[in-house]
Structure 1
Amino acid sequence: MTEKRYPATEAQRQTEDWNPIWDQMAEMDPDYLEAFLAFRAVPQKNGPLPQKTKELIMIAINAATTHLWAPGVRRHMQNALREGATSAEILEVLQLTSIMGVHSMTLGVPILAEELERAGEA
């Protein structure tokens, strides 16, 4: 019997975008995880929004009180800065997201300070 290949899962593991909980999902239901990873990649690969805007939206999603995923906030802040976002734009995204709950700010502002310092924009 040949082993079934999961290209989206394998490609995702090679990036910093891998959530460790997905290891368990891959064991329990690799078909679901493969479909999920392919589905969530569509907006990044297609659509009219500039990449900077997509990264700002992803910061909001990852900083939202229903998600609070610090590795995602950090990665998308790095990407947004690389795409030309300003610290003021990123801070406004966090402020808007904090309307859902102030935890978005307590998660995101320290990460923004670290990333700005790392990027030499302190």
Structure 2
Amino acid sequence: MPAAPSPATPLCDALRDAGEWNPAWDPFYELDPAWTEKFMDMGLAPLRRGVLDAKTVEFIAIAVDASCTHLYAPGVRRHIRKALALGASPQEIAAVLQCVSVLGIHSMSLGAPILLEEIAAARAGAASTRP
């Protein structure tokens, strides 16, 4: 049976040509280029429609890539470079990083009370009764 022709992926191709392609996207592109193209279209829609200005889009991309749930240093670097090229100040970028840093507060919100409970239990000489 002959292989099906590859679908057109102009957005994915443009991202590659512009040096904006993340190699981590290669596996899902290889599995389903049409889905990947639709995914990229969805992600780029605010910028392409002009709903958000390019600098704001870069700020959001910095926040996403620097977030504790993502931690993608190459993307942070790429988007900081682009934001600076678009006229962002170092103070604006620092503010974005400061805003996104609060995502990690959930680790403290969960862990600190447990730590206090375990310290109290250890001082009382008893094992914690909590799982």
* TM-score (normalizing by structure 1): 0.73
Code of the residue aligned with 1:80 in structure 2: it is A
- Report percent identity of matched pairs: 43
State the distance in 2 between where 1:51 and 1:8 align: 17
1:3 aligns with 2:8: no
**8 Å Cα contact 2:65/2:73 also seen in 1:** yes
Partner secondary structure for residue 101 of structure 1: helix
Q: CA deviation at 1:44?
A: 1.5
Unmatched 5+ stretches in structure 1:
103-122
Segments of 4+ in structure 1 off by > 3 A? none
Code of the residue aligned with 1:100 in structure 2: it is L
Q: Which moved more, 1:81-90 or 1:9-18?
A: 9-18
From 6, 10, 15, the counterpart of 1:12: 15
Query: Whose relative contact order is higher, 1 or 2, with alpha carbons under 8 Å and at least 6 apart?
Result: 1
Larger radius of gyration: 2
For the aligned residue pairs, the C-alpha RMSD in angstroms reads 1.9
Unmatched 5+ stretches in structure 2:
106-131
* TM-score (normalizing by structure 2): 0.69
